Structure 1
Amino acid sequence: MNHWIFLAIAIIGEVVATSALKASDGFTKLVPSIVVAAGYMTAFYFLSMALRSIPVGVAYAIWAGLGVVLVTVFSWVYYGQKLDAAAAAGMALIVAGVVVMNLFSKTVSH
C-alpha cells in the first residue's frame, strides 16, 4: 500500500513544482525557484519509490494525468486562467481514464 502513498506524494510534488514555475518568473525569483526544485526532487524521488511496485506505464499515466488535471485546476483558481467546456471535458476524460485503470486493469497492483 505504501507504493500508492509514494505515488500520491510524487503527484503532489509535481503539482507544487509545476504551479510554482509561473511564480518563479523564469527562475528570476529565488523562493519560487527553490519551491520548483524541491517539488521536482520530491516528485521524482517518490515516483521512483512507487515504481518498485507499480508498473511504470500505469504509474506514469496516473502521475501525468492527475498532474495535468490538478495543475489546471490550481491555475484556474490561483492564477485566474480560463477553462472552456472542451478543457473541462478533456480533464473529465483523464480522470475517468485513471479511474478505469485503477478499477478494471489487471496491470494495476492493488
Structure 2
Amino acid sequence: MGYIQLALAIIGEIIGTNLLKASDGFTKPLPTISSLVAYVACFYFLSLALKTVNLSAAYATWSGVGIILTTLIAVVFWHDKVSIPEIIGIVLIIVGVVVCNLFSNAH
C-alpha cells in the first residue's frame, strides 16, 4: 500500500508543479488554488507512504520520478528545451533512485 500512496504523491507533485507553471507567478487564481490543493494532496500521500516505505527510498523515488516526468511534460506541453548536461544529470538521478531502492532496508 505504501508504494501506491507514494505513486499518488508523485502524481500530486507533478500536477502541482505544472499548475504552478500555469499559475504564472500566482497571478491566475484557478491554477494557483489548484496547485496548492495538488501539493497538499501530494504531501498527505507522501506522509502516508512514509509509514511503510523507508524515508530515503521514498524521497529518492518521489523526487526522481517527479523530475523525470516533470521534465517530459515540460518538453511536450510547455515546449521547454533540455540540454545534454540536464539529460546526463537526470540519468544520474535515475541511477541514484535505483541504488536507494535496491539497498533500502524497507524491503
Alpha-carbon distance, 1:108 to partner: 3.4
Residue matched to 2:51: 52
Q: Is the 8 A contact 1:7 1:59 kept in 2?
A: yes
Residue matched to 1:80: 79
Residue matched to 2:106: 108
Q: TM-score with structure 2 length normalisation?
A: 0.90
Q: Cα distance 1:96–1:62, how it changes in 2: closer, same or farther (>3 A)?
A: same
**Aligned partners of 1:100, 1:39: CA distance in 2, in Å?**
28
CA deviation map 1:50-87 (0-9, x unaligned): 01011222211211121122211111111111011111
Query: SS of the counterpart of 2:27?
Result: coil
Of all paired residues, the percent bearing the same amino acid is: 43
2:34 counterpart of 1:35: yes
**Aligned partners of 1:42, 1:66: CA distance in 2, in Å?**
17
Q: Is the 8 A contact 1:101 1:108 kept in 2?
A: no
Q: Is the 8 A contact 1:65 1:94 kept in 2?
A: yes
How many residue pairs get aligned? The number is: 107
Q: Is the 8 A contact 2:5 2:46 kept in 1?
A: yes
Flag structure 1 segments of 5+ consecutive residues without an equivalent: none
Q: Cα distance 1:48–1:106, how it changes in 2: closer, same or farther (>3 A)?
A: closer
Q: TM-score with structure 1 length normalisation?
A: 0.88
2:62 counterpart of 1:63: yes
Flag structure 2 segments of 5+ consecutive residues without an equivalent: none
Runs of 4+ in structure 1 displaced over 6 angstroms? none
Residue matched to 1:10: 9
